[in-house]
Amino acid sequence: MIQVDGLSFSYSKKLPSILSEVSFNIQKGEFVALIGQNGAGKTTLLKQLNGLLKPTRGSVKICGMDTRTHRTSLLARHIGYLFQNPDHQIFCETVGSEIEFGLKNILQDEDIINERIKEISALLSLGDKLDKSPFSLSRGERQRVALASVVALKPDILVLDEPTTGQDYRECMEIMDIVKGLNDSGTTVIMVSHDMEVVAEYARRTIVLRGGTVAADGATPDIFRKTDILSSSNLRPPQIVELALKFEDGFHTVVTAEDMYCEIARRCGK
Partner 1 sequence: MIEIDNLTFQYNNSDRPALKDICLHVEKGGFTGIIGPSGAGKSTLTYCINGVVPHYLTGDFYGSVRVCGLDTVDNGCMVLSRHVGSVFQDPESQIVTSVVEDEIAFGLENFNTPYDEMEKRITESLEMADISHLRHRDTAGLSGGQKQRVAIATAIALRPEVLVLDEPTSELDPEGSASIFETLSRLNHEYGMTIVIVEQKVMLLSKHSKRLIVMQDGRIVLDGMTREVLRHSEKLVELGINCPRVVELAGKLSKNGLYQGDCPTDVDEAYTMVTDILRRQK
Partner 2 sequence: MKSLLTYVNGESFFHRLHPLTKLAWAVAACVACFASGSLPFVAAMVILCILIAVFGGIFSEALSVLKFFGVVAAILFVLQIVFVRSGIVVISLGGFSVTDEGLLAAFFVSLRTVGSLAPLSLMIMFTPTTALSAALTDNLRVPYKYTFIVTAALRFIPTFTDEMDHIVQAQISRGHAIDGKNPVKRFFGILPMSIPLLVSSVRRIDQMAISLETRGFGLGVRSTYKKQSFKAGDFIALAFVALILVLGIAL
Chain positions contacting partner 2, by CB under 8 A: 47, 50, 52, 71-74, 76-77, 80-81, 83, 85, 87-91, 101-102, 105-106, 135, 149-150, 153
Provide, rounded to whole angstroms, the least separation between the CB of residue 84 and partner 1: 9
Task: Answer whether 237's CB lies under 8 Å from 252's CB.
Answer: no
Among 238, 248, 249, 250, contact with partner 1 (rule: CB under 8 A): 238
d(CA 151, CA 181) in angstroms, rounded, equals 12
Binds 266: which of partner 2, partner 1, none (CB < 5-8 Å by kind): none
- Asked whether position 246 contacts partner 1 by CB under 8 A, the answer is yes
- Asked whether position 94 contacts partner 1 by CB under 8 A, the answer is no
Distance between terminal CA atoms of the chain?
42
Q: Which stretch binds partner 1 (CB under 8 A): 47-55, 71-79, 94-102, 234-242?
A: 234-242
Q: Which is nearer to partner 1, 54 or 139 (CB)?
A: 139
- Asked whether position 257 contacts partner 1 by CB under 8 A, the answer is yes
Provide, rounded to whole angstroms, the least separation between the CB of residue 181 and partner 1: 19
Binds 52: which of partner 2, partner 1, none (CB < 5-8 Å by kind): partner 2
Among 45, 90, 172, 178, contact with partner 1 (rule: CB under 8 A): 172
Site for partner 1 in 124-163 (CB under 8 A): 138-140
Provide, rounded to whole angstroms, the least separation between the CB of residue 194 and partner 1: 5
User: Residue 67 burial by CB count (10 A; 0-12/13-18/19+): exposed, middle or buried?
Assistant: buried
Binding site for partner 1 (CB under 8 A): 37-38, 138-140, 165-173, 194, 196-197, 234-236, 238-240, 242-243, 246-247, 256-258, 260-261, 264-265, 267-270
